[in-house]
Structure 1
């Protein structure tokens, strides 16, 4: 069978997408800490942008509130802004700007007010960065009026995703798993020797990973983009070691949540995510899906989250807190037992 299509790494793909967006639209600005050359950002995602686009790419002081506020001001004044928060943990320092300024500005003046703002947030652990540089704080922004929450995936084209966000003319948070940066993009509908994928629904759409020729599944996994590879590993192990058939759904937009043309086909649904339990994206997904799937599900929707507590820097302790492929596999087996 055909093997995986070898393509560029996600960080390279995102860098090329940013180059494309800035080249196509002279009204787009990029702001963030240490993003200009020769450094090019903490994860090198903005490499080459300042050399090519000059003052439209600005390194800023270390103030997340000021960075997001300046980006929102640019957007409010008629330009477009892509803002980088160096670590998603620090988005908490810009919460007031996102909740009370950017999110509300689009509607609180009695008429639609454009706010084409994208706030990029490198997130997640598994790199030994410790409690304040390893979190996945997506859940804290779910349900904020006027604010869309998205996550980078290895299936969705990053330039199309950025252009969609700016095209909505509403503020968007784009989370980007740091480990995902090192992975390669999936292309041409091929995941590996077992699985294929397709993008369904209206942009930004949902990536559906499936087995060819299979219509009915034991379980549907739903995960954000940063969890995709761990979910794929769990799916493979469940199939080869336990004869459990799973499909995988990976939406690019986490909130407002909409699966669109990819309704779950499994008799059970498991939602896995990074971040601790309680008030989570997974709970939002379950609340949306439960009434729709009530007559078909054989048991309640399973939610998989990280363990409660801070994220340790020591790798062996970090592994005990964060979600892994075996965490997902064990949850599915327990639910289907």
Structure 2
């Protein structure tokens, strides 16, 4: 039996394939060349195989992103790595005022195929400045698409989708998820299986093996998949609450209408996200759900976010701030009563 591929390995294979097949592809970032291969080893082996198009850069996130945008403007397809998503704040001006605007501000549409990779999230003990989930700060920028890695989607397909949009994309990659294996063959575990639903960029749909109608439908980005599935298991076994999970690859722009066949199966909807509340992806989805499902909903959409706090380094304090399986379980159980 072949060992299942880890998410970091799958990302590495996707980048190898991109560089092997596309001479216009570049990879740029800090310490990405061998033998180091990046902080999380996602770029391992790339520079040895493509030394002229895998470029280790100075410590300047704005500079790296600006060079990437310049390469894209000239017709290339660069992938830029932020060592940690937190540092993407230093590249915000390049994404907001140059890369995204360059698609349409020159009098005709310009293809700007580029990806900015951002290792994100907590539960690793990295502390306040290396553990944030900053997705909400990039939502709503015209011509900037947001994606997140999942344990369901093959990243070769994700990179193909992002670069085909011909606009800048940010790919958020949960750091804990790097170590997890991809689900395959529609199987999650003994209680749950998954299938695909939605539009041309499909969403993973996790449901119980007995296929009964759900008490709740949960929508979560890929980095939260494992924690939500853990909550689904305990809710089913301890509370007799059956939940289904939807995990998209693209976070923004997001059209909830494509998921109506699943959402319409219950009157309770929960959106889970890793960042802090206010102006978030979860609130955007809740607004769409209230518009589309108002007559079907039996209660307001439940949005679960991290605590409004810095992320501590100490593990026991970090767990109190970042959403955990037991937090999700407790919130859904209480909202059902």
TM-score normalised by structure 1 residue count: 0.97
Q: Secondary structure at the match of 2:127?
A: coil
Q: Is contact 1:119-1:174 (8 Å) kept?
A: yes
Aligned length: 334
Encode CA deviations 1:185-228: one digit per residue, 9 max, x unaligned: 00111100111111222332211001234252100010000000
Q: Which moved more, 1:312-321 or 1:196-205?
A: 196-205
1:319 — aligned with what? Answer: 319
Q: Secondary structure at the match of 2:273?
A: strand
Q: Is contact 1:206-1:259 (8 Å) kept?
A: no
1:49 — aligned with what? Answer: 46
Q: Is contact 2:208-2:244 (8 Å) kept?
A: yes
Out of 241, 249, 253, the residue aligned to residue 252 of structure 1 is 249
CA–CA distance in structure 1, aligned partners of residues 255 and 155 of structure 2: 19
Residue 216 of structure 1 pairs with residue 213 of structure 2: yes
Alignment of structure 1 residues 1-337 onto 2, 5 Å: 7-259=4-256, 261-263=258-260, 264=263, 265-337=265-337
- Displacement of 1:269: 0.5
- Displacement of 1:85: 0.4
CA–CA distance in structure 1, aligned partners of residues 256 and 228 of structure 2: 18
Q: Secondary structure at the match of 1:82?
A: strand
- Displacement of 1:24: 1.3
- Displacement of 1:261: 4.1
Structure 1 stretches (4+) deviating beyond 3 angstroms?
Answer: none
- Displacement of 1:258: 2.2
Give the unaligned 5+ runs of structure 1.
none
Q: Which moved more, 1:325-334 or 1:202-211?
A: 202-211
CA–CA distance in structure 1, aligned partners of residues 193 and 296 of structure 2: 25
CA–CA distance in structure 2, aligned partners of residues 202 and 155 of structure 1: 16
Q: Secondary structure at the match of 2:178?
A: helix
- Displacement of 1:107: 1.1
Encode CA deviations 1:112-164: one digit per residue, 9 max, x unaligned: 11100100000000011000000000000010111001100000110110111
Q: Secondary structure at the match of 1:297?
A: coil
CA–CA distance in structure 1, aligned partners of residues 158 and 306 of structure 2: 27
Encode CA deviations 1:225-274: one digit per residue, 9 max, x unaligned: 00000000000000011100100000111100124543213320011111
Q: Is contact 1:164-1:203 (8 Å) kept?
A: no
What is the aligned-residue RMSD (CA, Å)? Answer: 1.3
Q: Is contact 2:144-2:170 (8 Å) kept?
A: yes
- Displacement of 1:110: 2.3
CA–CA distance in structure 2, aligned partners of residues 52 and 279 of structure 1: 42
TM-score normalised by structure 2 residue count: 0.97
Q: Is contact 2:257-2:292 (8 Å) kept?
A: no
- Displacement of 1:6: 5.3
CA–CA distance in structure 1, aligned partners of residues 51 and 256 of structure 2: 40
Q: Is contact 2:144-2:168 (8 Å) kept?
A: yes
CA–CA distance in structure 2, aligned partners of residues 256 and 296 of structure 1: 24
Identify if the C-alpha distance between structure 1 residues 69 and 158 changes in structure 2 by more than 3 Å, giving closer, same or farther.
Answer: same
Q: Is contact 1:251-1:259 (8 Å) kept?
A: no
- Displacement of 1:334: 1.4
